[in-house]
Amino acid sequence: MQFHKPQKLPDNIRVFKIFGAEYWMPWEEMRRGCSCFLPTTATARQVADLLGPIEAYLGWHFAVANRCEYGRYGVRIWRTV
């Protein structure tokens, strides 16, 4: 099954907020197996909860884990499906 990306994703899918900080994500460029790091003090569980509507809209699944990368605390998100 191939994902057919819409011309423009809605703002509530493209942009999401964590503790007041806005993150803009080019989801249509994220291929299966790719990941991104978000510098944040939120836990992986909190970020996973915010990704729920995005997963439902795109029909994807994400794995999320707390990480310390580049000397910063944050969350890494992997697209698994």
Entry pTM: 0.83
39 vs 7: CA distance, rounded Å:
28
45 vs 65: CA distance, rounded Å:
8
54 vs 57: CA distance, rounded Å:
5
Contact 47, 18 (CB under 8 A): yes
pLDDT tens-place string over residues 37-65 = 999 999 999 999 999 999 999 999 999 99
pLDDT tens-place string over residues 4-49 = 554 578 888 899 899 999 999 989 889 999 999 999 999 999 999 9
Whats the size of the chain, residue-wise? 81
